[in-house]
Structure 1
Amino acid sequence: MTAGHSVLAVAVPAFEDYIQRRTAHYDASFLSSDPDFSHAHITVLGPWLPTPSQPDLDTVERIMAAAEPFDTTLARVETFPDGLIHLRPDPDEPFRALTAALVDAFPHCPPYGGRFPDPVPHLTLDRRADGITPDSVGEDLRHLLPARLHVDRVDLQWWANHDCHVRESWKLGRGR
């Protein structure tokens, strides 16, 4: 198997073109040819299991079936202390609830490898650098903001150089 990692994620189609361009700028080997793959996403849990078993997949299916679809809005460009420029969904509680349910089921898979004690749901846009600021990113995206997002599915994405693809997908409230 190719070195990489899995992520349980929610696609954010409104920002796909922008995120694909930023991905190509930084490392084009992470551009996917899978039409179901979304570079623009909000991570629910990652990294997750590299090779989940059928019982693992069934557990995720039960969690997603128990969660109702929801709406959220992405409106304001923000920056984490480490310089990561992002959009935070409002409300973010449904994302936090999905993450909590998955962590309860898979405690050996803490969000972001346990680096952040209270992970904040977000859509990564870029990282602060020369010429890249929250203001410049906000200006690039002003025609898309605010963006409303209807969340009704979670994808199991595989991220690896030259091998980004969707492995599974689950509908919220209805199973697979």
Structure 2
Amino acid sequence: MPKSGQSGVVLPVPAADPVLDRVRERYPGLVREVPAHVSVLYPFLDVDVLTPDDLTALDDIFTSQAPLDVSFATCAGHGGFVYLPPEPVEALDALSVEVQEHWPQLLPYGGAYGRPRPHLTIVMGADEPTAARVSEDVRAHLPLHATLGEAWLVVFTDHWSVHRRFRLDGR
């Protein structure tokens, strides 16, 4: 569970929200109450230490990036974790690395998983039979195609909310 004031940087994927909503209805409690997204860096800086320079740096990184066309054609998972890997992954991976290199003191997921590949989380903490059913249900709605045109800085209070939006302009 995130703590109040914790933030993250994500790329929203509205095209996947209907799939997440269906899974959320069928498997209550396994899908987080956040819109579909690919994490760029989580956790990011706590909101109380976030500076205007940090926001400017994020803006500079994202406005230099063109919108990204991605597909989610397969469903993957392990240990109760079900996710969609984006294709192609290279530009998303490079964007995540660029943000992480700007704030090297921040480790993705607190360093728990090394340097994770970009992904869209469907469920976490499912038992194996449930994870298999979720994967099967999700596969019926693939492939998904999306143009990722903005990044969000999200902040947790008692729920996640968008603190700042950054356009991917390709300037």
Same fold (TM over 0.5): yes
Who is 2:166 aligned against? Answer: 170
Who is 2:154 aligned against? Answer: 157
Equivalents in 2 of 1:91, 1:130: separation in Å? 28
1:141 deviation in Å?
A: 2.3
Within the alignment, does 1:13 sit opposite 2:14 as a pair? yes
* Alignment match of 1:78 (pick from 60, 76, 80): 76
1:145 deviation in Å?
A: 0.6
Equivalents in 1 of 2:138, 2:165: separation in Å? 28
3-state SS in 2 of match to 1:133: helix
Equivalents in 2 of 1:9, 1:147: separation in Å? 18
Change in Cα spacing, 1:114 to 1:142, as seen in structure 2 (3 Å) is closer
Q: Which amino acid aligns with 1:72?
A: V
Determine if contact 1:73/1:149 at 8 Å carries over to the other structure.
Answer: yes
Unaligned runs of 5+ in 2: none
Count, aligned residues: 164
1:22 deviation in Å?
A: 2.5
Within the alignment, does 1:22 sit opposite 2:18 as a pair? no
Q: Pairwise CA RMSD of aligned residues?
A: 2.4
Q: TM-score, normalised by structure 2?
A: 0.84
Equivalents in 2 of 1:171, 1:92: separation in Å? 19
1:173 deviation in Å?
A: 2.3
Change in Cα spacing, 1:18 to 1:148, as seen in structure 2 (3 Å) is closer
Determine if contact 2:82/2:135 at 8 Å carries over to the other structure.
Answer: no
Q: Which amino acid aligns with 1:64?
A: F
Q: TM-score, normalised by structure 1?
A: 0.81
Q: Which amino acid aligns with 2:146?
A: L
Unaligned runs of 5+ in 1: 32-37
Determine if contact 2:16/2:36 at 8 Å carries over to the other structure.
Answer: yes
Equivalent runs, 1:80-159 vs 2, <5 Å = 80=78, 82-127=79-124, 128-129=126-127, 131-134=129-132, 136-159=133-156
Equivalents in 1 of 2:5, 2:80: separation in Å? 24
Determine if contact 1:154/1:170 at 8 Å carries over to the other structure.
Answer: yes
Equivalents in 2 of 1:64, 1:141: separation in Å? 30
- Identical aligned pairs, as a percentage? 27
* Alignment match of 2:45 (pick from 36, 44, 49): 49
Equivalents in 1 of 2:106, 2:115: separation in Å? 14
